Amino acid sequence: MLPTEKLDAVVDRFHQVEEMLCSPEIASDRRRFAELGRERRQLEALVGAWQRYRDVQRQIGEDEKALGDPELRELAEAELPDLRANAEQLEQEIRTLLLPADPNDERNTLVEIRAGTGGDEAALFAADLLRMYTRFAERRSWRIEPISMSESPAGGLREVIILVTGDHVYSQLRFEGGVHRVQRVPATEAQGRIHTSTATVAVLPEADEVDVDIKAEDLEITTAAAGGPGGQGVNTTNSAVQIVHKPTGLIVKCQDERSQIKNKAKAMKVLRARLLKREEEAQSASIAAERRDMVGTAARAEKIRTYNYPQNRVTDHRIDGEEGGGRPKYLLANVIDGDLDDLVTALRTQRTAQLLEGTGST
């Protein structure tokens, strides 16, 4: 049975939130308005599913009464199987929507990719992961904005940070955080031996200005001439920006743009996201443990996913295998080209099943 009292309370809360959003006092409070806006979006799907479920149950009740009417019996018997199946599907959807929502799921997301163990090959793999996420974003009509990038002298990337904006970005990318392992023959390997390298991925929800209170006196901002490729204009202009958040010691650097103002704005985005994550971790020991485990030390044994080029397969080590079999394998050629749909769906479905198992019927 569905918890009808709880669901009715959700409907009441939804209407309360809608009324509050129309209040001039709330509209003038940016933080509160943003919080209520997110709450409304989170409740909207559940309220809609509950309304559809009640409509279907009402139709089922009417058809069951009609079974006693000779003139309507045949029509009712034809409708009832589909109605009952629809009710069962809606009930499962409602149980899923009743799970505690992550307030970050709708946020834009910062993705940080860093070369791990493996030297030049790890840097090349980091560049491959950047292309993979870029193509995945293109498939969803998301926008990619480079924040900072450090290239490797031999090719590839030592480190790159991008901002991904669009619909429900964090909910789709949240499972990408961790150590990614690649097994392949490097282009520089004369003997054809397979090498194993890693890259780390960190996924951070973007913080709004109203989410994190950053005082100007807590910041130490310095500028310098940008280094690396880009020509004379880049290297002679003091456009690179470094921001030190003195209370926490966090350091953010950005030199991707020619404009000092743009680099400062990008650096502040990264700083806000890291401070928001830090704040969340301080509030919850479980989140802190999850964050510490996300990247680890980039050692090969800490992998969440393996990209095996000789066998053209990708294995995600967090996805349970079917009974009597091993973990599912995914075609590497498709995954590395940005087709992450099956992986993302499997990870989200598994997490939902675990949460439902933990919450029982409520």
Compute the distance between CA of residue 26 and CA of residue 17 in angstroms, rounded to an integer.
10
Query: Do 240 and 121 fall within a single domain?
Result: yes
Closest CA to 158 of 193, 195, 129, 181: 129
Query: Do 86 and 111 fall within a single domain?
Result: no
Q: Residue 257 sits in which domain range?
A: 104-362
DSSP 175: G
Compute the distance between CA of residue 172 and CA of residue 169 in angstroms, rounded to an integer.
5
Compute the distance between CA of residue 340 and CA of residue 136 in angstroms, rounded to an integer.
7
Query: Do 248 and 336 fall within a single domain?
Result: yes
For the question of whether the overall pTM of this predicted structure is more than 0.85, the answer is no
For residue 294, give the CATH number of its domain: 3.30.70.1660
Query: Do 260 and 314 fall within a single domain?
Result: yes
Query: Do 128 and 85 fall within a single domain?
Result: no
| C-alpha distances in Å from residue 318, one per residue of 141, 193, 299, 348, 349 | 27, 28, 17, 11, 12
Query: Do 47 and 132 fall within a single domain?
Result: no
Query: Do 286 and 209 fall within a single domain?
Result: yes
Query: Do 81 and 160 fall within a single domain?
Result: no
pLDDT, one tens digit for every residue, the chain (362 residues): 788 898 999 999 999 999 999 999 999 988 889 889 888 888 898 999 999 999 999 999 999 999 988 888 999 999 999 999 999 999 888 988 887 767 788 888 999 999 999 999 999 999 999 999 999 999 999 999 998 899 998 889 999 999 999 988 998 999 999 999 999 998 767 677 899 999 999 999 888 765 677 888 989 999 877 665 544 444 456 788 899 999 888 999 888 788 888 889 889 989 988 888 787 766 555 444 544 555 555 555 569 999 999 999 999 998 876 554 567 889 999 999 999 999 998 898 888 887 777 654 33
For residue 88, give the CATH number of its domain: 1.20.58
Q: For residue 249, give both structure tokens.
A: 């010691």
Look at the chain and count its residues.
362
Domains: count for the chain? 2
Query: Do 80 and 22 fall within a single domain?
Result: yes
Last residue of a domain, one of 97, 132, 154: 97
Q: Where are the beta strands (DSSP E) in 36-116?
A: 109-115
Last residue of a domain, one of 73, 97, 121: 97
Last residue of a domain, one of 61, 77, 97: 97
Q: For residue 86, give both structure tokens.
A: 């629809």
Compute the distance between CA of residue 57 and CA of residue 299 in angstroms, rounded to an integer.
54
> Which amino acid, one-letter code, is at 122?
A
